[in-house]
């Protein structure tokens, strides 16, 4: 489905915890999630820490959407080269 949105001119960012599978499917922008049962969070963290984790994941997805790369782009939380983080609320 992401490929169809891309063909229509709408950028997409695919958030997943199984990056190799996503790479085989072929979306242009892939964001590595946290863990299989909770790709966008970590229940064992306190609420403030989990909120920050979620903010960082969404920031990576927004950075992926802003990237114009003809090749597949994979962004991970621990990757310092991915810039566009969300400003604190």
Is residue 81 domain-resident? Answer: no
Write the burial class of residue 29 (CB in 10 Å: 0-12 exposed, 13-18 middle, 19+ buried). Answer: buried
Which stretches of 41-80 are DSSP H helices?
A: 47-66
pLDDT recorded at residue 70: 75
Number of domains in the chain: 1
Is residue 84 domain-resident? Answer: no
DSSP 48: H
List of E strands, the chain: 14-16, 29-32, 73-75
Is residue 28 domain-resident? Answer: yes
Range of the domain at 14: 2-75
- Cβ atoms of 44 and 69 within 8 Å: the answer is no
Beta-bridge mates of residue 41: none
Residue 81 has pLDDT above 60, yes or no: no
Is residue 37 domain-resident? Answer: yes
pLDDT digits (tens, 9 = 90+) for 21-71: 999 988 889 999 988 888 888 889 999 999 999 999 999 899 889 888 778
Work out the mean pLDDT of the chain and round it to a whole number. 83
């Amino acid at each position: 489905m992401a490929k169809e949105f891309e063909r229509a001119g709408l950028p997409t960012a695919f958030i997943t915890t199984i990056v190799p599978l996503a790479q085989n499917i072929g979306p242009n922008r892939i964001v590595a999630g946290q863990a299989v049962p909770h790709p966008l969070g970590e229940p064992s963290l306190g609420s403030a820490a989990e909120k920050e984790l979620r903010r960082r994941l969404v920031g990576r997805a927004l950075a992926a959407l802003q990237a114009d790369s003809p090749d597949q782009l994979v962004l991970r939380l621990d990757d310092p080269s991915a810039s566009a983080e969300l400003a604190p609320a």
